[in-house]
Chains A and B, each alone.
Chain A
Amino acid sequence: MKTFAMVHPEKGAIVYRDRKRFLWISALFFPLVALSGIGLYSLNGREWAFVVPLVLFYGGTALFDWLLGEDTSNPPEELVSQLEDDKFYRWLPMLTVPMHFVVLILIAGFAGTHDVSWAAMLALALTAGLYSGLGVNTAHELGHKKTELERRLARIVSAVPAYGHFCVEHNRGHHRHVATPADPASSRMGENIYKFACREIPGAFRRGWIAEQERLARQGKSAWHYENEILQSYALTAVLQISLVAVFGWLMVPFLAVHNVFAWWQLTSANYIEHYGLLRKRNANGTYEHCQPYHSWNANHVASNVVLFHLERHSDHHAHPTRRYQTLRSFPDLPSLPNGYMGMYFVALFPPLWYRVMDQRLLSLPHINGDLSLVNVDPARRAALEARYSRSLPRTVAV
């Protein structure tokens, strides 16, 4: 295993071995999970095989999170530049980009050429959407970086699930306004995931389009100029998805619709759980305080963090968005999710269960201490939540 080392003038020898170094390679094998249903069906001819990738992804990752537990280790700050410059880490996310095109084409091709039930077709479309959702995660990792190659690949992979506005919206909108009521991609206490999705999906598109329109306007160009990075990505989507319809027929229209929406749902799920109820304070001049690590829910679970390129070390990511996945840190006393993302995605599907798991956890955070005025609350639920929680959590009274 590669050792990162240096001799520090004051601290002496500093040595670090990344225990996850080779686990990251598993990203190259996730296409096999996505295609495992088709493989099993080819062997046994049973349609239940198409559900296997969905079960493996959600259930398997949540199970491994439970079995493997958490990893709270961090690389020494002095060695971060060595880790960031290591080509091994840099190339892995980039290598996954073409896989997202291949997997969608293979699953769509299978769906378009085999006579299977509508339920099997739905499972195939959901599986394709699940893997394309991981593509949005790859776009997230690459889109935050400063090299033109990585940014371009981020826009390319965003095209697979027809989410070409993601990079512009996420970097310019979400990161700027995160954990404020103005952010459609930060969920509010008392807001269920379905209501959140109806606010997040259109709100994010609108904000991304406006940001790109403004950037082009400063250059004296129309929003419809070919340099519009959102339109570039959507043009690639059109080529890919219209080609699939042309080759495999009209069946591809509902197939791709389900694929796209389920890929978006992965992002919506992540956004929902990442900042639930957390709120930045306003400064005296009306601006918001800088995003701090406690403005994101963090998770250190090994399995899902490996699947998602450390996305779950979200507290450090939002505090320092351009840090690469291999150097994201865990901090003590962060808002912490009780399971990794896949387990929490599942919990979020059931709003009463979600509130039961998360609301007390949110109100008990040290910087909130039961004070709902320090929480990003759904305005429609504020009165009910105040009535419910004003008596249950004693607040520290300043004297």
Chain B
Amino acid sequence: MPIHICPDCGYAYDEALGDRREGYAPGTRFEQLPDDFVCPDCAVRAKSDFLRQDQ
């Protein structure tokens, strides 16, 4: 499954792992995240800014 990287701080959203702290279960696809999703670490990059990396 792909990883999506915050271009500012490098936070990585791994679809296989999700983000438990943020309430996104393993397997949650990046497209399924809320439209107003922002980087949980820096909050200055939005969902549309994230860079996809296929593993």
Contacts and interface: CB of A to CB of B under 8 A. Distances in A.
A320 B23 contact: no
A210 to B, nearest CB: 12
Given A217-B23, A218-B24, A219-B23, A321 B46 contact: no
Contacts of B22: 215, 218
A321 B23 CA distance: 23
B9 interface: yes
How many residues of A sit at the interface, in one of the four size bands? 20 to 34
Interface string B11-34: 100000000111110000000000
A321 B9 contact: yes
Chain A CB count within 10 A is highest, among B20, B44, B49, for B44
Contacts of A319: 44
B23 A172 contact: no
A176 B8 CA distance: 13
Q: Is the interface of B mostly helix, strand, loop or mixed?
A: loop
B43 interface: yes
A176 B41 contact: no
How many residues of B sit at the interface, in one of the four size bands? 10 to 19
A291 B43 CA distance: 11
A176 B38 contact: yes
Interface in A314-369: 318-322
B23 A318 contact: no
B32 to A, nearest CB: 12
Contact of A218 (B23, B46, B49): B23
Contact of B43 (A172, A216, A218): A172
A290 interface: yes
A146 B43 CA distance: 13
A177 to B, nearest CB: 9
A287 interface: yes
A175 B23 contact: no
A388 B4 CA distance: 49
Interface string A183-222: 0000000000000000000000000000000011111100
A290 B44 contact: yes
B26 to A, nearest CB: 13
Contacts, number: 43
Contacts of A171: 43
A317 to B, nearest CB: 10
Given A320-B9, A321-B9, A322-B9, A176 B44 contact: yes
Contacts of B41: 146, 322
Nearest to B19: A218
Contacts of B11: 146
Contacts of B51: none
A322 B23 contact: no
Chain A CB count within 10 A is highest, among B11, B23, B41, B43, for B43
B24 A321 contact: no
Contacts of B38: 172, 176
Interface in A210-262: 215-220
A220 B23 CA distance: 8
Contact of B45 (A217, A218, A219, A290): A290
B23 A176 contact: no
Contacts of B46: 287
Nearest to B20: A219
Contact of B23 (A146, A215, A287): A215
A172 B42 CA distance: 8
Contacts of B21: 215
Given A176-B38, A320-B8, A291 B44 contact: yes
A320 B44 CA distance: 8
Contacts of B49: 290
Given A144-B42, A217-B23, A320-B9, 4 more contacts: A175-B42, A290-B49, A318-B44, A322-B42
12 contacts: A146-B9, A146-B11, A146-B41, A172-B38, A172-B43, A175-B44, A219-B23, A290-B49, A318-B44, A320-B8, A321-B9, A321-B43
